[in-house]
């Protein structure tokens, strides 16, 4: 059965490993320390940093190794006396997360292991606007089955699936509205019910989470750059433009879970009509199709995933129409970003999705608008930078969200193994 | 000495009452229960709801009564057997907060007692733009001295001061920028250093906090309506337009403390120049001066505090130019609000300041823009309503912030008394 939810509180776990909450807590604490350590820690390091006894740490580590959550690395050379200890790392074989993405003009699948490494990544180009939701999801299932087979060849077990969609997701995986796909009230779990499950079951890990792609991309970026800021605006620029607002290290979802629709901030209130029914939305000036049209490029001639790369190539070569189109898009984006910074006082704007490749040409115009329009710009600088993950952020973020859940609460996975 | 900060962590308190953190905690817990109770609770009620013993509650309540933080109400009639218990209420004499406000065209002072009642409120009209910051603050000190004398006549002791300003406040009470006042880098505490202090000292209560007026108004509104939503956008419409963003019952200040500048969200990016240096800011279309001009009213003939009331009177009488001006302002406000709702997914917009009086004429246009532009508007309604406190929200919110600090940590006040 496909099980969907935006935010999940794991159900109580039956089984042999559950011997009370102290044990669960110790498993999570030790695994969390190993995950967060900048270098592979020894058992003694983990004991010292957690305050647990070395005997407890050793017993817990043995369980984590037996459960394929932790592995021992080769000993690192050490200065000074004594035998170097073996370091503990998150296992590269064991549970993994499957990330899927359905966007306007491509499908993607991605497998991320417990250590956050991308172990499989496929993108399939297709204009999905003329395709029914059921057919689009059937194609995605085929892509997912390939990913699963590849993961299994690598010794990985898919523990759960997260699906990124370019739209607003309600309860139980219902896509309320995805304007650029033409989807309205698409019950993803129902459409997937006839297909075999692709992951799990693992207690505490939902087999399928459906979430907005901009949200998953922002969270992916947060975890891809642990030294980065704890609060930032992540803007995903594709055919649509979405944002994820990260505040103090957590995604801000809004009152009902539908935050981040920056693409529909009005930047020319009486301007071009938008698919959403409004006018002058940012998407109509800085979305991929608007930029391609302004650059004189025919979208039909250009595989969608290559549009940003093609624009970047032309801009790098000094193509005047491409440069003008990107400056115009950057200005519209800057108007919206200036409004967001005036409102939220964020100091970092990360350009993701297709924008990641185009940052050198978008940034000057964005910064000019920020400097001109943000009240605090004179003394409180705003950084605009490309995302670390680029166009893959949503699908990598989706897969990563599955494994982060296991790291946070490993007992479910261990129960499954016992 | 004037002591200024945006957010304060009280210093450790020396003195007789400090007998360890358990006692401090019990004082705060019992006082908090009395403050939050919908009806005056008895000592037994407080014991039942806190889990403390009746003996502990009685000893703590005796201290709170001796310290003029709690009083006993007359016994309420009770059905059934037994003698009715006397109810406990927050004291109406004892510590109070002084709220001050300096705005573009008025000064205000307000005293709020521990129970949240406004015990004094004065507004003095004056165009402060031609007045130096030092002179403006000297006038405010005179107003504050009147408020203090009136408070003392009523048996109230001013425990601290909070000052609302229409600008961006940095560390140590420095007003970085108040564009409509023409202030830049005004060190309020230095300018007040030659004047006698107006409140305190009370351990743990800063004698002076300087904060943005829209922030204080939003927090005032949050506490004025305990049954209202925990997350909302509060828009203060005066000469300038500011917002306070309340998320889950707390003000969201942004990364550096300068959130809420909704007045400078661009609504016509190439439109009218703004005092901030930008173009087409919301203030230029929905600020008080823009609305008066569109309505054909001469600002010079109109005391500033009466501008909103005058517009409301004209609109109620069907004055075509006033109606058209308010519709135009509402549309511009709606464009900005639609952007905010698309971004943050808030479901409640509170119109405060002068807007509170004008809500009947602003709301239709705001809702029309929200309905047209917000992606989720079709299934996720947005409520637009006037504030409870209206134009007094900032100065009442300021005074209330002082007494809420005492309710949260009463030990400082009790130490002072001992």
**For residue A376, what pLDDT is reported?**
93
- Closest partner residue to B344 (CB to CB) among A259, A342, A375 is A259
| Separation of alpha carbons B146 and B266, rounded Å | 41
Model confidence pLDDT, tens digit, residues A41-94 = 999 999 999 999 999 999 999 999 999 999 998 765 555 566 666 799 999 999
Question: Which of A227, A235, A304 lies closest to A265, judged by CA?
Answer: A235
Residue B82 placed within a domain: no
**Taking a C-beta distance cutoff of 8 angstroms, is the pair A110, A398 a contact?**
yes
Residues of chain A scoring pLDDT < 70:
1-20, 75-85, 302-305, 417-418
- The radius of gyration of chain A's CA atoms, rounded to the nearest angstrom, is 23
Residue A407 placed within a domain: no
Q: Taking CB atoms and an 8 Å limit, are B265 and A231 in contact across chains? A: no
**Taking a C-beta distance cutoff of 8 angstroms, is the pair A157, A91 a contact?**
no
Phi/psi at B62 (5° precision): -60, -45
Q: Taking CB atoms and an 8 Å limit, are A278 and B231 in contact across chains? A: no
Model confidence pLDDT, tens digit, residues B147-165 = 999 999 999 999 999 999 9
Residue A13 placed within a domain: no
Shared domain for B98 and B234, answered yes or no, is: no
Phi/psi at A372 (5° precision): -80, -30
Shared domain for A130 and A209, answered yes or no, is: yes
Average pLDDT, rounded, for chain B:
89
Residue B360 placed within a domain: yes
**For residue A9, what pLDDT is reported?**
32
**For residue A281, what pLDDT is reported?**
97
Determine the longest span between alpha carbons in chain B, in angstroms: 74
- Closest partner residue to B339 (CB to CB) among A259, A266, A378 is A266
Please report residues of A whose CB lies closer than 8 A to that of B175. none
**For residue B12, what pLDDT is reported?**
38
Interface predicted TM-score (ipTM) of this complex, two decimals: 0.87
Closest approach of A297 to chain B, Cα-based (Å):
27
Shared domain for B44 and B172, answered yes or no, is: yes
- Closest partner residue to A345 (CB to CB) among B177, B258, B335 is B258
**Taking a C-beta distance cutoff of 8 angstroms, is the pair B359, B386 a contact?**
yes
The answer, yes or no, to whether residue B221 has pLDDT greater than 70, is yes
A282: nearest CA in chain B? Answer: B339
In angstroms, how far is CA B160 from the centroid of its own chain?
Answer: 15
Please report residues of A whose CB lies closer than 8 A to that of B343. 243, 245, 259-262, 265, 340, 343
Model confidence pLDDT, tens digit, residues A271-329 = 999 988 899 999 999 999 999 999 998 777 766 567 899 999 999 999 999 999 999 99
Shared domain for B36 and B142, answered yes or no, is: yes
B256: nearest CA in chain A? Answer: A345
Shared domain for A372 and A327, answered yes or no, is: yes
Shared domain for B383 and B396, answered yes or no, is: no
Shared domain for A239 and A351, answered yes or no, is: yes
The answer, yes or no, to whether residue B300 has pLDDT greater than 90, is no
Task: List the structure tokens of B174.
Answer: 């420095």
Q: Taking CB atoms and an 8 Å limit, are A335 and B261 in contact across chains? A: no
Shared domain for B185 and B126, answered yes or no, is: yes
The structural domain count of chain B equals: 2
Residue A310 placed within a domain: yes
Q: Taking CB atoms and an 8 Å limit, are B343 and A259 in contact across chains? A: yes
Higher pLDDT, B362 or B390: B362
Collapsed DSSP state (helix, strand, coil) of residue A193: coil
Closest approach of A405 to chain B, Cα-based (Å):
25
B380: nearest CA in chain A? Answer: A256
Shared domain for A266 and A198, answered yes or no, is: no
DSSP state of B198: -
Q: What percent of chain B has pLDDT over 90?
A: 74
Q: Is B416 left (phi over 0), alpha (psi -120 to 50) or beta?
A: alpha
- Closest partner residue to B373 (CB to CB) among A254, A259, A278 is A278
Shared domain for B166 and B236, answered yes or no, is: no
- Domain of residue A140 covers 94-216+394-401
Please give the helix or strand (H or E) that residue B404 lies within, else none: helix B393-408
Question: Which of A260, A250, A242 lies closest to A222, judged by CA?
Answer: A250
A380: nearest CA in chain B? Answer: B256
Model confidence pLDDT, tens digit, residues B255-293 = 999 999 999 999 999 999 998 889 999 999 999 999 999
Q: DSSP letter string over B340-352?
A: HHHHH---EEEEE
Among A171, A270, A284, A345, most B C-beta atoms within 10 A, so best to mutate, is A345
**For residue B81, what pLDDT is reported?**
60
**For residue B390, what pLDDT is reported?**
86
Shared domain for A208 and A124, answered yes or no, is: yes
B179: nearest CA in chain A? Answer: A375
The average pLDDT across B214-225 equals: 93
Closest approach of A375 to chain B, Cα-based (Å):
6
Residue B81 placed within a domain: no
Please report residues of B whose CB lies closer than 8 A to that of A269. 267-268, 335
Please give the helix or strand (H or E) that residue A233 lies within, else none: strand A232-237
Q: How far is CA A161 from CA A147, A151, B151, in A?
A: 11, 13, 64
Residue A155 placed within a domain: yes
Residue keyed to tokens 């496929």: A122
Q: Taking CB atoms and an 8 Å limit, are A267 and B265 in contact across chains? A: no
Q: Taking CB atoms and an 8 Å limit, are B345 and A375 in contact across chains? A: no
Residue keyed to tokens 């075509």: B320
The answer, yes or no, to whether residue B11 has pLDDT greater than 90, is no
Count of pairs with CB atoms under 8 A, one residue in A, one in B? 144
| Separation of alpha carbons A33 and A50, rounded Å | 8
Number of Cβ atoms within 10 Å of the Cβ of B271: 16
Task: List the structure tokens of B12.
Answer: 């450790």
Q: Taking CB atoms and an 8 Å limit, are B343 and A372 in contact across chains? A: no
Residue B45 placed within a domain: yes
Phi/psi at A416 (5° precision): -60, -35
Q: How far is CA B175 from CA A82, A278, B188, B244, in A?
A: 59, 39, 7, 17
Q: Taking CB atoms and an 8 Å limit, are B344 and A276 in contact across chains? A: no
Q: For the domain that residue A349 is a member of, what is the CATH number?
A: 3.30.420.40
**Taking a C-beta distance cutoff of 8 angstroms, is the pair A339, B266 a contact?**
yes
A344: nearest CA in chain B? Answer: B259
Q: Taking CB atoms and an 8 Å limit, are B345 and A179 in contact across chains? A: no
| Separation of alpha carbons A216 and A169, rounded Å | 12
Q: Is B389 exposed, middle or buried (0-12, 13-18, 19+ CB in 10 A)?
A: buried
Shared domain for B274 and B381, answered yes or no, is: yes
Closest approach of A73 to chain B, Cα-based (Å):
39
Please report residues of A whose CB lies closer than 8 A to that of B276. 373, 375
Number of Cβ atoms within 10 Å of the Cβ of A397: 33
**For residue B341, what pLDDT is reported?**
97
Please report residues of A whose CB lies closer than 8 A to that of B380. 256, 258
Model confidence pLDDT, tens digit, residues B167-187 = 999 988 999 999 889 999 999
The answer, yes or no, to whether residue B325 has pLDDT greater than 90, is yes
**Taking a C-beta distance cutoff of 8 angstroms, is the pair B280, A369 a contact?**
no
Please report residues of B whose CB lies closer than 8 A to that of A376. 168, 176-177, 256, 258, 261
């Amino acid at each position: 059965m496909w099980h969907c939810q935006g935010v999940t509180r794991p159900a109580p776990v039956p089984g042999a490993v559950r011997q009370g909450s102290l044990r669960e807590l110790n498993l999570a604490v030790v695994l969390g320390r190993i995950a967060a350590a900048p270098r592979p820690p020894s058992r003694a390091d983990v004991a010292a940093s957690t305050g647990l006894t070395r005997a407890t740490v050793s017993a817990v580590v043995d369980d984590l190794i037996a459960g394929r959550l932790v592995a021992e690395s080769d000993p690192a050379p050490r200065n000074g006396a004594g035998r170097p200890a073996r370091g503990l790392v998150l296992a590269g074989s064991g549970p993994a997360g499957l990330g899927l993405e359905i966007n306007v003009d491509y499908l993607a699948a991605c497998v991320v292991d417990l250590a956050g490494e991308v172990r499989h990544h496929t993108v399939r180009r297709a204009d999905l606007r003329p395709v029914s939701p059921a057919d689009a999801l059937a194609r995605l299932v085929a892509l997912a089955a390939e990913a699963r087979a590849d993961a299994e060849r690598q010794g990985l077990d898919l523990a759960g699936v997260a699906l990124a969609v370019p739209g607003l997701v309600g309860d139980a995986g219902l896509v309320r509205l995805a304007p650029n796909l033409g989807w309205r009230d698409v019950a993803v779990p129902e459409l997937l019910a006839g297909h075999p499950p692709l992951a799990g079951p693992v207690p505490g890990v939902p087999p399928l989470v459906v979430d907005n792609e901009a949200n998953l991309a922002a969270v992916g970026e947060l975890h891809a750059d642990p030294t980065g800021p704890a609060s930032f605006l992540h803007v995903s620029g594709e055919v649509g433009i979405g944002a994820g607002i990260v505040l103090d290290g957590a995604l801000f979802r809004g009152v009902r879970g539908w935050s981040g629709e920056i693409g529909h901030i009005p930047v020319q209130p009486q301007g071009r009509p938008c698919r959403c029914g409004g006018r002058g939305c940012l998407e109509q000036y800085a979305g991929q199709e608007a930029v391609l049209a302004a650059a004189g490029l025919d979208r039909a001639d250009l595989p969608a995933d290559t549009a940003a790369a093609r624009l970047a190539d032309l801009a790098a070569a000094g193509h005047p129409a491409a440069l003008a189109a990107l400056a115009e898009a950057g200005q519209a984006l800057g108007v919206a970003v200036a409004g967001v910074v005036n409102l939220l006082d964020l100091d970092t704007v990360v350009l993701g999705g297709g924008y990641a490749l185009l940052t050198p040409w978008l940034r000057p115009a964005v910064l000019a608008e920020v400097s001109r329009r943000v009240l605090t710009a004179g003394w409180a600088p705003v950084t605009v930078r490309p995302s670390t993950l680029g166009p893959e952020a949503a699908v990598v973020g989706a897969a990563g969200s599955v494994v982060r859940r296991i790291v946070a609460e490993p007992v479910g996975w261990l129960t499954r193994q016992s």
